[in-house]
Structure 1
């Protein structure tokens, strides 16, 4: 089973900065990107983290960088 969490924040040009956490078994895939409709979403980086590292990164995005939960970008 895959569990997915999307975090968003508005950017100055009207686009959306997004972060997606996809967990499967022990690893969590972290995808960071940007989307300005109607363009295709841009993936800035992709990495694999352990579950504890992913939880710390999620807290950092929410508490320090202003990201909030939202619907999937794609």
Structure 2
């Protein structure tokens, strides 16, 4: 996982749930939230993960929770 990765899942109200992975020197910050334009994005949770755990989370989000890779939302 290099740099920053965005995963997005559309919601029925026109907004999106998002997960943003940001690679650091020794770990990965995972930010989860939602966005309903034109409102400001809502950050629901953020945590730091080891690289292998971040990869497992990314895989689970893509395979089991309906997220897809995306360009940055904002």
TM-score interval, normalised by the smaller of the two chains: over 0.9
Query: 1:49 Cα shift?
Result: 0.2
The CA distance in 2 between the partners of 1:44 and 1:11, in whole Å, is: 16
What is the DSSP-based 3-state SS (H/G/I as helix, E as strand, rest coil) of the residue aligned with 1:47? strand
Does 1:72 pair with 2:66? no
Please, what TM-score do these two structures have when normalized by structure 2? 0.94
Q: Root-mean-square deviation (CA), in Å?
A: 1.0
Aligned to 1:19: 19
The number of equivalent residue pairs is: 73
The CA distance in 1 between the partners of 2:12 and 2:26, in whole Å, is: 36
Higher strand share: 1
What is the DSSP-based 3-state SS (H/G/I as helix, E as strand, rest coil) of the residue aligned with 1:72? coil
What is the DSSP-based 3-state SS (H/G/I as helix, E as strand, rest coil) of the residue aligned with 1:33? strand
Gaps of 5+ in 2: none
Aligned to 1:10: 10
The CA distance in 2 between the partners of 1:18 and 1:53, in whole Å, is: 18
Alignment of 1:1-74 (within 5 A): 3-74=3-74
Moved over 4 A (4+): none
